[in-house]
Chains A and B, each alone.
Chain A
């Protein structure tokens, strides 16, 4: 062990509060996957390009391979593990990816859905172009993006229907 001081980090991950001591150089993605066993966020490139490691931190989509865990101290974090509806059924986005074949190998999917989740919160009615620009930080090597865009459009439609809005209240 090094003599660098370990720092206490408290996070709320998918509604659950956790506290750990970490080495300052620990990246958030390693903290989530290795310390907390939250393995939904993937390590694709490790160079801030692919977005497979995307999580929501205080309402922002961030690439958790490019954030130190200590920087996230006190943050509210949502990962793919926190995406399903409270009763365990699939969220509109998850259902969209299923219905529209928005995934093939699935490696990019946790990052894609987590990013799309934040995108739809900020812009509930995005145009196709806004969706494409909105997921520009997430790479998919399989689908060609077409069905990912359709999946997000499916979710936006579902979420904008008055019945689902009432049901969510």
Chain B
């Protein structure tokens, strides 16, 4: 399992990396942690002629908070997300989700930027980013633009990212203190991609939901933001009937493949169950 030949580039700035991408068009690919790309290259399912290693760009590291938003730079690894005190305090759902991704070795190298830019519906971060209403900062030859995670994914491996652009940061509105949160993932074993998974964020006052968002992983060829489900739950007391309706609305937008993780109908049902469990846990964690 030896990848095809490529020319290796190791730029030290984003501008330099973008310039390399511009001069090689879609023959060039950025390399971050490599834990999606290198396996694909070993299988010769990807054979870029130029690899642009982002590992030498110091600017692409770090987590900070400013003006009501948390910015996570693209090369921040999943391990660093788990270790971050800022995230544990303000956005604990990121730690919970990161711990359910792959295994320790992979998390030391796999990055948030690579995970969300990859476009594999099996990746866990994209649905979480949709749930959190994150936006992605894309840097190209003409500067920066921001695309909402909810608008970024078009089909499996097709995203709004242009070949000459680099995803440089993820911006997440800081959720209110006391919010409830949960990421529930059904997998066959540690290190497996989800059979189905659900992210839930909510706030409650006096037992009533004042805001709620739900997103699903690996039950369609893109991550799914379940807008209608969130709307149904908003204003409710999470009574059984309303939860049932919201779960049905979320199940209705799924379109999973039948594969080694189970038949499509099963995966749709599991998405509903994951959502129900995530809702219950999020409600428990929310300060009423």
Contact = CB atoms under 8 A, between A and B. Distances in A.
A and B from one complex: yes
B188 interface: no
Interface of B: 1-8, 10, 31, 34-35, 38-39, 41-42, 51, 53, 55, 79, 102-106, 108-109, 190-191
Interface in A62-118: 62-63, 66-68, 70-71, 115
A70 B10 CA distance: 9
B106 A63 contact: yes
11 contacts: A24-B7, A25-B3, A27-B2, A27-B38, A30-B2, A46-B1, A51-B103, A68-B38, A136-B190, A137-B105, A137-B106
A66 B34 CA distance: 7
Given A71-B55, A137-B106, 4 more contacts: A23-B5, A27-B38, A49-B191, A136-B103
Given A4-B5, A25-B3, A61-B108, A136 B191 contact: yes
B105 A70 contact: no
Contact of A51 (B5, B105, B109): B105
A116 B187 CA distance: 25
Contacts of A62: 105, 108-109
Interface in A33-77: 46-49, 51, 54, 60-63, 66-68, 70-71
B104 A61 contact: yes
Given A25-B3, A46-B42, A115-B105, A66 B35 contact: yes
B6 A66 contact: no
Contacts of A5: 7
A134 interface: yes
Contact of B6 (A25, A48, A63): A25
A47 B190 CA distance: 15
B33 to A, nearest CB: 9
B286 to A, nearest CB: 26
Chain B interface helix/strand/loop/mixed? mixed
Q: Which 9 pairs between the two chains have the least Cβ-Cβ distance?
A: A137-B103, A24-B8, A60-B108, A136-B190, A137-B105, A46-B1, A136-B103, A25-B3, A63-B105
A70 B8 contact: yes
Contacts of B79: 60
Interface string A1-37: 0101101000000000000000111010010000000
A133 interface: yes
Contacts of B53: 70-71
Nearest to A59: B108
B81 to A, nearest CB: 14
Contacts of B6: 4, 24-25
B75 to A, nearest CB: 12
Contacts of A70: 8, 10, 53
B191 A137 contact: yes
B34 A68 contact: yes
B35 A115 contact: no
B7 A48 contact: no
